[in-house]
Structure 1
Amino acid sequence: MAKKNRFLKLLSDRIVDNLLERELVIADNPESFKEKVYEILYSDYKTEKELEEEAERIIQENSEEVFYRGVSLHKARKLIKEKLAKERGIPVIGSVFSREKANYLAGKILKLILTDEELDYTQERGVIRNAIVGSFEEVAQLRKEIDQRVREKIASHSRPIYEGTPEWYALYRRYYNEELIERGLVEPETEV
C-alpha cells in the first residue's frame, strides 16, 4: 500500500473519532469507515494536485503571454485552475482546510454516512455536518501550531537561517516530523 498523506490520514481519523466518540455515527467497522473517509479526502487532494500540475504546464507553455500581459504567476495559476475546474465540473478548489472546501468535503462525507450500509447515524444531518467541519478546524489549528513551533525552533539557531534556502527547508521538514512524533501523531518508523 502506498504511503498515506499524513494530514489527510490525521484528518480522516479525527473526523471518524469525533463522530464515533460523540455517538453521532455508529460504524460496524471503524477502520473501514476511516479508510472510506480517507479515500474521499485523498480523491479530492489528487484532483487538486492534477489541476495544479495542468495549470503549471499551461503557464510554462504560455510563459511569454503571461509575462507580456503582466499577470503574476500566482494570479495566472489561480485563474487557470479555476477555468480548468469549471470545465471539468469540479465545484470547489483550494486548500482542504479552507472553509468552502471543508463544507464541500463534509457534504461528501455526510453522503457516505447516509448511504453506507455499514454506518448508521443518531443525529440530524446538520449536527453531523457541523461535527465534520469542526474536525477540519481542529486539524487546521494543529497544523498552524506545529508550523509556528517549527519556525520558532529554526529561528532559535545561533546563526540566522533564511527561509527559502535549502538548509531552511531541510530543517523545517526535520523539525516538522519531530513535532508530529512528539505529539504522537505519527510513529517514528513511518519517517522517510
Structure 2
Amino acid sequence: MLIKEAQVPFLSRKIAYDLLNSGFVTFPKGIDNAISEIEDIIMDDVLWEREIEDKAREILAKQEEENEFLFYDVDRREVFKLIKKEIANEEGFNLKRDERIDDLSHFLVKELWDKEFIDYDVRDGKIKNIIFNSIMEFLNREREARDEVYRKLENYKRPLIPGTEEWELVFNRLYEQELKKRGLI
C-alpha cells in the first residue's frame, strides 16, 4: 500500500499548506474545508487500493485451498502482487508509484477547482506539480523515518524479535518520534 490510512490527515494538511505557501493558490471556502476535501479524496484512493488487495487475498486464498501443492514452491507475496496487479488493471487503478501520484495530483486539482475549494491564476499543471511534489516529499520523509527506526532497532540495547508484541511497541514508539522529528505529525 502506497499511502496508509493513518497518514492521510497529515498528508492532506501538508498538501494544503504547500499550496498556500506557493503563493499561487487561495482557498475561497477556507483552508480547513480544503484540507477536509483533500483528505476525503486521498482516503477514497487508499480505500480503493485496500479493496483491490482484499480481492487479491480472497483469490489467493481460494487458489491455495483448491491447489495446495501448486503453492508449495512459490513465493506467496509474488503471487499476491501478480493477482493485485491484474485486478488493478481491470479496475483502472494505477499501481506504479509515480504515475499513481501523478493521477492523484491531477484528480485533486480538478476536484478542488470544480468544487471551488481552491482558486488560482496559473496553469493547472503548476498546481498539480506542487501537489505531486508535496506527496513525494511526504512519502520520502516517511520512508526515511521508517528506515531510521529499523536502524535503531538493529542496534537496540537488547535484541528484539520482529513480529513480537514487544518489537511492535518499540517500533511504533520510535516511529512516532521519527515522524515528529521530520514534521510529519
Question: In the alignment, what sits opposite 1:83?
Answer: 86
Q: After the TM superposition, which residues 1-192 of structure 1 pair with which residues of structure 2 at under 5 Å, given as runs?
A: 5-28=5-28, 29-63=30-64, 64-65=66-67, 67-68=69-70, 70-87=73-90, 89-93=91-95, 98-183=97-182, 185-186=184-185
**Deviation of the 1:110 alpha carbon:** 1.4
**Displaced runs of 4 or more, over 6 A:** none
**Deviation of the 1:182 alpha carbon:** 4.9
Gaps of 5+ in 2: none
> TM-score if structure 1 supplies the norm length?
0.81
**Deviation of the 1:91 alpha carbon:** 3.0
Deviation per residue, 1:106-127 (Å, 9 max, x gap): 0111112331224211211121
> Comparing 70-79 with 32-41, which one deviates more in the overlay?
70-79
CA distance in 2, matches of 1:76, 1:157: 34
Gaps of 5+ in 1: 187-192
The percentage of counterpart residues that share the same residue type is: 28
Give the AA of the match of 2:146. D
Q: Comparing both chains, which one has the higher relative contact order based on Cα–Cα distances under 8 Å and sequence gaps of 6 or more?
A: 2
CA distance in 2, matches of 1:183, 1:93: 27
Give the AA of the match of 2:175. Y
CA distance in 2, matches of 1:47, 1:71: 27
CA distance in 1, matches of 2:128, 2:78: 32
> TM-score if structure 2 supplies the norm length?
0.84
CA distance in 2, matches of 1:182, 1:126: 31
**Deviation of the 1:181 alpha carbon:** 4.2
